[in-house]
Amino acid sequence: MLALPTMATVLATPGFWHQDESLGITWENVLHGEQGFELHEVLPVEGAVIGTTKVLDILDRGDKGAFIYSSNELREPSTGRKIATLTSTEVCRSNGGFGGRADGAPSPHPIPDRAPDAVWDYKTDKRAALIYRLSGDDNSLHVDPEVASVAGFEFPILHGLCTFGVAGHALLRETCEYDPSRLTAMKVRFSAPVYPGDTIRTEMWRDGSTVSFRSSVPERGVVVLNNGRATVEPSRST
C-alpha cells in the first residue's frame, strides 16, 4: 500500500496564515497561484512528519497584486531525513504597489504544440469543497457565499489543491498505471477557478520522464490548470 503523491501538499502545513492581521494581507483576495512538490522518497502511508515553511521571495506586481513564493520541507522527525519539498505561490490581489521588486518570476513550463497523448475527464461532486475542507484548509472562500462574492466569484470556488489532486489522479491513471511510486514531482499554475460540480478535463503529453499537462472545464471552455509539468519514473515499489 502506498500514499498518493499529492497527499504531500497537505501535510505539516502552517494553515491559512495570510489571515494574521499583523501581516497586512487582504486575505479575502488571496488566491493560490502555483503549487509543486518533489518527493525525495516514496511517501509513507503512516508516521510523523515535520514541516518547515519559509517565505522565499515577494514580488510587487502592481495592479496584479503581490506574489509570495514559499517552500515547505517535510522531514522525518527522528532522523531528519527529507521526504518532500513543496513549493507554492500565493497571489495577494489587493496588496501590490508597495514599491517592491517586480521582476524575478520563474518562466512557466511550455505546453507542447501537438495533440495530447492522453485525456481524462473527471466530474467533481457539488459537495467537493466541503469534503476537501476536511484536509485542513478552512479558507472561507470555499464555503461562504459572502466571502466568495467579496473576492469576485459568483459562488464559493473549489480549493486549488483539490483541482491539483484531480490532475494528479489523471497522471497516475494515464501515465503511471496507478503506481504512486512513479510520480515523483509535479508543478502547475492555477489559471482559473473551478466550481464544485464542474468536470475537470486533464490533457497530458509524454516526453520521456517528463509529462506536460493542463486541465480545463469543458462546460465553461476555460483552462483552470496550466503549464503543468510532472516527472514520471520507473516503478520504485518494493
Active site residue 125: no
- Give the containing element (helix H, strand E) for 121: strand 118-123
In SS3 terms, 174-213 reads as HHCCCCHHHEEEEEEEECCCCCCCCEEEEEEEEECCEEEE
Integer Cα distance of 68 and 61 in angstroms? 11
Active site residue 142: yes
- Which among 32, 157, 165, 200 is annotated as catalytic? 157
Buried b (16+ CB within 10 A) or exposed e, 56-68: eebbbbeeebbbb
Half-sphere exposure of 142 (CA within 13 A, CB side): 27
Active site residue 157: yes
- Cβ partners under 8 Å of residue 205, min gap 6: 111, 112, 114, 116, 117, 211, 212, 213
Q: What's the distance, Cα to Cα, between the start and end of the chain in Å?
A: 10
Integer Cα distance of 84 and 230 in angstroms? 15
- Which among 65, 160, 165, 168 is annotated as catalytic? 160
The three-class DSSP label of residue 54 is: strand
- Which among 32, 33, 36, 137 is annotated as catalytic? 137
Any idea which residue has 506574489 for its cell? 67
- Which among 142, 165, 168, 228 is annotated as catalytic? 142
Integer Cα distance of 10 and 135 in angstroms? 7
Integer Cα distance of 192 and 226 in angstroms? 9
Active site residue 200: no
Question: Annotated active-site positions, please?
Answer: 137, 142, 157, 160
